[in-house]
Amino acid sequence: MCYMSKKADSGGIHVTRHSAAYWRVTVDIPPLNIFGPANIPQMEQAVSSIEADNEVKVVVFDSAVEGFFATHYDFLSPLEESTKFPAGRTGLQPLPDMLARLSRAPVASIALIRGRATGVGSELALACDMRFASREKAVLSQWEVGAGLVPGGGPMARLPRLMGRGRALEVLLGADDVNGELAERYGYVNRCLPDAELDQFVDRLARRIASFDKQAIAETKRLVNLASLPPDSEIAPEWGAFIDSLGRKAARDRIGKLMERGFHHPGDVETRLGHYVGELAS
C-alpha cells in the first residue's frame, strides 16, 4: 500500500505492509522532508488506515531521505493552505489531531530516527510510543522559539511528561539541536544506538511485538495511555498559538533572515538549524 501526493516531485507518505501485523510509514518528501499542507491528507490517510485495520499490531515510522527523519513545517506554502482544513476527529486541527490519534491507536508505534527530527519531525516522534535514534546521525529539536514562533504540534504537552519541566523548557526555549546521546540521557528518545545497529534493532523489536496478541497489546497501551498521555485540551491551544505567531513581526523578520541564509533549501542552514536560529540577533 502506498499513499502519495498527485505531484511526483512533491514526495509523499508511503505505507508499506511488511506483514499483516507489521507496517512501515515512510516519509519521502525530498530533498529535506519538509512537511506541509500537501502532506496532511497523506498522513491522515495513513493514520486512518492504522486505526481501521484489525490485524496491524506495530507501525514503524522512518525516512527515505538521507539526513532527515522529518523537518519543520513548509513556510513557503500560503497560510490559507494550512488553515483550510476542517478540524479532525478529535476536534483538534489536522496535524495535532493526527498525532493525538496515533498516540491512542491500538498498535505500538515506533519512530526510527536517522537524521534530523526538527519541528514537525520531533512532534511526530513524540507522538509515537517509542523512539530509537542513531547515535551518529540523529538530531532532534524544537527550533521554533528561536525563530519567533510557538511550536504547534503538541511538544509543550508531551515533552514535560517525558523529561521533566526543566529539561523540556531547555529544549523548547533553547531551540537548539539535541544529538542522539543527549536525547537518550534526557528521555527524548528511548535509546540511541550505533547507526549500524539501528535498523536491525528496530526491525527485531517490531517483529517481536508483531508476534504477540493484538488485544493484549491494545489493552496494555490503553492503560499506559491513561497514566501518561496529555488530554486533548492541553494540545488544542498549541496549533492556534503557532498560527498566530506566524503573523507577528518578530517571526516574519527571523524567518526572513533564515530564508536569506538558505532556509528551505539543502545546505548548512537546514543541516545546522539550531546554530543559525541562535545567530539571528547578531
Is the separation of the CB atoms in 151 and 237 below 8 Å? Answer: no
The residues near 68 (Cβ < 8 Å, ≥ 6 apart) are: 32, 33, 115, 116, 121, 270
User: What is the largest distance, in Å, between two alpha-carbon atoms of the chain?
Assistant: 56
C-alpha 105/C-alpha 90 separation (Å) is 13
Q: Note if 260 is an active site residue.
A: no
Which is catalytic among the residues 144, 184, 238, 270?
Answer: 144
Which is catalytic among the residues 51, 80, 81, 123?
Answer: 123
In Å, what is the CA distance from 135 to each residue of 32, 94, 140, 181?
20, 32, 12, 6
The residues near 80 (Cβ < 8 Å, ≥ 6 apart) are: none
Q: Note if 170 is an active site residue.
A: no
Nearest in space to 24 (alpha carbons), one of 4, 45, 39, 2: 2
Q: Which residues are catalytic?
A: 123, 144
